[in-house]
Chains A and B, each alone.
Chain A
């Protein structure tokens, strides 16, 4: 019997809730005990660790973890050599795209990256900023910030590079955005060693399929409805099916039963339209996984 286990890094903080949610939709129950970093997961072949997303790429590179979820930002910042398994991009508005932006005080004389020459920039992602400056041929002092970077200008720094979702925090501190340095997406990552191990690769690929299915399932819903026979053709044209709809004739009546799936976002326009066109008994229910 094999004693092998897959060691997975789950990001603590802003990505945590969403990560646990997609694991749940993928079929795994993860329990987060308070003040613990070893999580309980209902798969004896997996050990789950709750870690800061900044640390996950490095631990994967070193082989301390086999698999993990982290953002492009921390993968680039740590310059960790990892293997990208897949993107776990979330399309709903709730999880906004995470942007790393260059911001300065509203009344600052700095108008663009070029004006940063010789200035001090405070950031949590020192390497990201250094690469950005090098690309723009600007020499400036980059200072590591332990957090609450937005309060540092103008006293402690001339500019900052920080993460923003809604820009509300930046506005509250009278900062304006000059440039976007990086738009970060969520990635499932592993290392070369695990990727070469037959058992681990298999396990990772299965997991990736389920996680991606869960991410896609978030956006998709199922629809079923009754359509009168004489309107069937016209109404089917209005259905933007992911796959062709399942159509069944209702015995003894000139009515058809149609089942399909579509993007949740599309239902707002689609359902009123179907109703107006004469569909009856329209029922929508959520999808959990969508594996194309």
Chain B
């Protein structure tokens, strides 16, 4: 009998979100190969075919079912008004692990002080639908010019203001623009097609992939922590340790000391380790994690 090969089509954003997506797949346990010249990505799962796409085109492709599951920016899901299932906020940013914002910015010396002052003016944006809705909400009529290049350099020569992505704010500073309103926060999301979710095989594959990618993402924020503490210290130690996971406590052979194993947020660890040291813990070891699935 001929076996029907099931295939899940995964949409990889090619541009600035790619690096982070590839890193998550690697941590999730996949081998990823990128062919820069032919825009191809291959992973070592015969049931998954990778399709690369421009980040702003990905949500419509998922809506149409050309792609079953993919990663794209929240703002582009909204801007394309694509109906998709939003599985998880992967919340990673370009180069820094921080979500971005979409803001309205104008030149530092501009007379435009708020969205109301945009009446009759012209703005440039990568997200025209979001900009349109925003202006309509504020009952302001202004001309919207689409650009998929950074809009900042156009201001003030070609346009009066921009609605743009801001991550570190460096581009705005460089072109002497100031933020006068924040429209929304945006970050990369894992999304899926609605029909794909009706298919039993696809749904399970999608959900499994979501568990792994979310687990890989969380592991980037966490680290493992191992330490030795005496019986007298234990109560205080357990108070200091975070509660995400119950610590594993093992008695050391023939001693009044314990081995404690747990995971903690990397930022919290900065404070936790000195505290543990003060309590009197010894042999404190921090180690990296691949996945954390709560």
- B31 within 8 A of partner (CB): yes
- Taking a contact as CB atoms under 8 Å apart, the answer to whether B212 and A272 are in contact is yes
Chain A residue nearest in CB terms to B210: A272
CB neighbours (8 Å) of A255 from chain B are 246
Ordered by A's residue number, 10 sampled pairs between the chains whose C-beta atoms are within 8 Å are A92-B31, A224-B261, A265-B29, A267-B212, A267-B291, A268-B208, A275-B211, A281-B263, A283-B224, A283-B289
Interchain residue pairs A-B with the least CB separation, the first 5: A272-B208, A281-B245, A282-B293, A284-B291, A284-B290
B263: chain A residues at CB < 8 Å are: 281, 283
Q: How far is the CA of A280 from the CA of B215 in the complex (A)?
A: 12
Residues of A within 8 A of B163 (CB): none
> Contact partner of A268 among B30, B207, B222, CB < 8 A?
B30
Interface flag for B4 (CB, 8 Å): no
**Residue B292 CB within 8 A of the other chain:** yes
Where the two chains meet, the residues of B that have a C-beta atom closer than 8 Å to any C-beta of A are 28-31, 44-45, 207-208, 211-212, 215, 219, 222, 224, 244-246, 248-250, 261, 263, 287-294
Contact assessment for B293 and A271 in the assembled complex, using a CB-CB cutoff below 8 Å? yes
Q: Which of B30, B207, B222, B288 contacts A272 (CB 8 A)?
A: B207
Contacts A251-B249, A284-B219, A286-B288 supplied; 7 other A-B pairs, CB < 8 Å: A257-B246, A267-B29, A268-B212, A271-B291, A283-B219, A284-B289, A284-B290
Whether A285 and B29, one on each chain, are in contact in the complex, defined by CB atoms closer than 8 angstroms, is: no
Say if the beta carbon of A248 comes within 8 Å of chain B.
Answer: yes
- For B250, the chain A residues whose CB sits under 8 A away are 248
Instruction: Please measure, in the bound complex, the distance between the C-alpha atom of A167 and the C-alpha atom of B207, giving whole angstroms.
Output: 35
- Contact assessment for A94 and B291 in the assembled complex, using a CB-CB cutoff below 8 Å: no
CB distance from B197 to the nearest CB of A (A): 16
Q: Which residues of A contact B244 (CB under 8 A)?
A: 281
B44 engages A93 (CB within 8 Å): yes
Cα–Cα, bound, A92→B45 (Å): 13
Residues of A within 8 A of B292 (CB): 282-284
A273 to chain B, nearest CB (A): 8
Instruction: Report the Cα distance A224→B44, complex, angstroms.
Output: 25
CB < 8 Å neighbour of B288 from A265, A271, A285: A285
Contacting B at CB under 8 A, from A223-238, are 224, 226
Which residues 243-292 of A have a CB within 8 angstroms of B? Answer: 248, 250-251, 255, 257, 259, 264-265, 267-269, 271-272, 274-275, 280-286
CB atoms of B215 and A284 under 8 A apart? yes
Q: Which residues of B contact A280 (CB under 8 A)?
A: 294
B30 partner residues in chain A, CB cutoff 8 A: 268
Q: Which residues of A113-159 have CB atoms within 8 Å of chain B's CB atoms?
A: none
For residue A288, which residue of chain B has the nearest CB?
Answer: B287
Query: A93, B31: Cβ atoms under 8 Å?
Result: yes
Contact across chains for A259 and B31 when beta carbons are under 8 A apart? no
Give the CA-CA distance A248 to B208 in the complex, in Å: 27
Pick from B28, B224, B293: contact of A275, CB below 8 A: B293
Partner of A94, one of B31, B45, B248: B31
Is the beta-carbon distance between B245 and A226 smaller than 8 angstroms?
yes
Is A268 within 8 A of B29, CB to CB? yes
Does A221 belong to the interface (CB within 8 Å)?
yes
CA distance A262 to B104 in the complex (A): 50
Q: Which residues of A contact B293 (CB under 8 A)?
A: 271, 274-275, 281-283
Distance between Cα atoms of A94 and B44 in the complex (Å):
10
Residues of A within 8 A of B208 (CB): 268-269, 272
Q: Do residues A248 and B248 form an inter-chain contact, with CB atoms below 8 A?
A: yes
CA–CA, A285 to B222, complex, Å? 11
Known: A92-B31, A224-B261, A282-B293. A272 touches B248 (CB 8 A): no
A residues less than 8 Å from B29 (CB atoms):
264-265, 267-268
Question: With A and B bound together, what is the CA distance between A284 and B293 in angstroms?
Answer: 9
For B249, the chain A residues whose CB sits under 8 A away are 251
In the bound assembly, the distance between CA atoms of A265 and B219 in angstroms comes to 18
CA distance A255 to B245 in the complex (A): 12
Chain B hits for A259, CB < 8 A = 248
Q: How far is the CB of A259 from chain B (nearest CB, A)?
A: 7
**Which chain B positions have C-beta within 8 A of A226?**
245-246
Docked Cα-Cα span, A121 to B131, in Å, equals 66
> When chains A and B are docked, how far (Å) is the Cα of A250 from the Cα of B246?
9
Give Cα distance in the complex from A92 to B245, angstroms.
31
Contact B211 A272 (CB under 8 A): yes
Cα–Cα distance between A280 and B294 once the two chains are bound (Å): 5
- Scan residues 2-56 of chain A and give those whose CB is less than 8 A from a CB of chain B: none
Residue numbers in A under 8 Å from B289 (CB-CB): 283-285
B218 nearest in chain A by CB position: A283
Q: Are B211 and A271 in contact (CB under 8 A)?
A: yes
User: Which B residue sits closest to A224, measured CB to CB?
Assistant: B248
A5 to B27, CA, bound (A): 39
| CB nearest neighbor in B for A286 | B290
B290:A257 contact, CB within 8 angstroms:
no
Distance from B237 Cβ to chain A, minimum over Cβ atoms (Å): 14
B28 touches A268 (CB 8 A): yes
Contacts of A224 in B (CB 8 A): 248, 261
Q: Considering the chains assembled together, what is the distance between the CA atoms of A213 and B293 in angstroms?
A: 28
By a CB distance below 8 angstroms, the chain B residues around A281 are 244-246, 263, 293-294
CB distance from A164 to the nearest CB of B (A): 16
Give the distance in Å from the alpha carbon of A285 to the alpha carbon of B143 in the complex. Answer: 53
CA distance A265 to B44 in the complex (A): 10
A274 to B294 CA separation, bound complex (whole angstroms)? 11
